Amino acid sequence: MQLGQLKIIVTGAARGMGAHFARRLHEAGAQVAAGDVDEKALEELPAGIHRRKLDVASESEVIDFVAWASGQMGGVNSLVNNAGILRDGLLVKKDRKTGEVKKLSLADWNTVIGVNLTGATLMVREVVAAMVQAETRPGVIVNISSISRHGNRGQSNYVAAKAALAANTVTWAREFSPFGIRVAAIAPGMIETPMTQGMNQAARDALVANIPAGRIGLPEDIWQAVRFCLECDYVTARTYDVDGGLSM
């Protein structure tokens, strides 16, 4: 699809990669509906981008948002499924000084799964339902997975969500192909965003030192991959690692 033909929803669009995607799409002539829990940060997006609060973990908010976005844009034919959060921690660890055994809390597990997997799934369900109802063809969905989907220490919740999202990219591509809807995914590596800027500095430095490309990634690097998935009509049912060669 040509970018100027898109009537596209971008989730997690207030900051980082999501905000970059929304701006780039708008510059390319797409109609963009941006959603995020951070309403104040959404206001910083350029005029002409439709903006509204969205908590993807809330089924009612997802349903309302997709209906609103469709009304604002005269339909919807695409989605960048970007919203995500971190609540990192070892599943079980032992304090070296006290010997106390600590466990990842159920709340931290459920919060990450709720946003990164359940929320992403709800977005796909509602956007595809809207497209099928309106008999919209063609359509395209780009899920944002992560290199962590291959497994990463201290991220059981995040890994589970991002691996499932990559697997369901295949599932959904097969399910939605009769409707003319493609589904692909991008799995970023270490990218310069507010999320990664909040990492422990020592852990961040160690990761960057192991990137063969020699630098941390930028949102523009991921945008180029997202654009490829949106524009190339022969891309579906695949997850593309965009990570500078980093292995975790």
Q: Is 158 a catalytic residue?
A: yes
CA distance 50 to 69: 8
Q: Minimal CA–CA distance to 187: which of 115, 150, 239, 118?
A: 239
Cβ(185)–Cβ(84) under 8 Å?
Answer: no
Contacts of 31 (CB under 8 A, 6+ apart): 6, 7, 8, 50, 72, 73, 74
Q: Which of 21, 65, 158, 172 is catalytic?
A: 158
Give helix 120-134 / helix 59-73 axis angle, nearest 10°: 40
CB atoms inside a 10 Å sphere around CB 78: 27
Spell out the alpha helix ranges (H) of 119-218: 120-134, 156-176, 194-197, 201-209
Amino acid at the residue 74:
G
Cβ(66)–Cβ(27) under 8 Å?
Answer: no
CA distance 88 to 67: 33
CA distance 56 to 79: 13
Residues with active-site annotation = 158
